[in-house]
Structure 1
Amino acid sequence: MRRPAVALAGALLLLTSALAGCGGESEAESSSEKAREQAAEQELEAAADRSVCRADADPVDEPYGEGFPESWEFPADTTVYDVEHRGETGVIVTAVSSAPFLTILDFLNHEAVDNGFAITEGETEEHDAEANWRSDEQTGRWAIRESADCPGETVIQVFAAAPGA
Structure 2
Amino acid sequence: MKRNIRKLTVAAMIAAVYLVLTMIFYVTSFQPLQSRLAEALTVLPYFTPVAIPGLFVGCVLANILGGNGIWDVVIGSLSSLLAAFLTYKLTYKKPKRKWLAPLPPVLINAVAVGSMLSVLSDVPLFATMLSVGLGQLLACYVFGFPLMLLFERTKKINELFKDIS
Scaled by the length of structure 1, what TM-score is found? 0.32
* Greater helix content: 2
* Greater strand content: 1
Scaled by the length of structure 2, what TM-score is found? 0.32
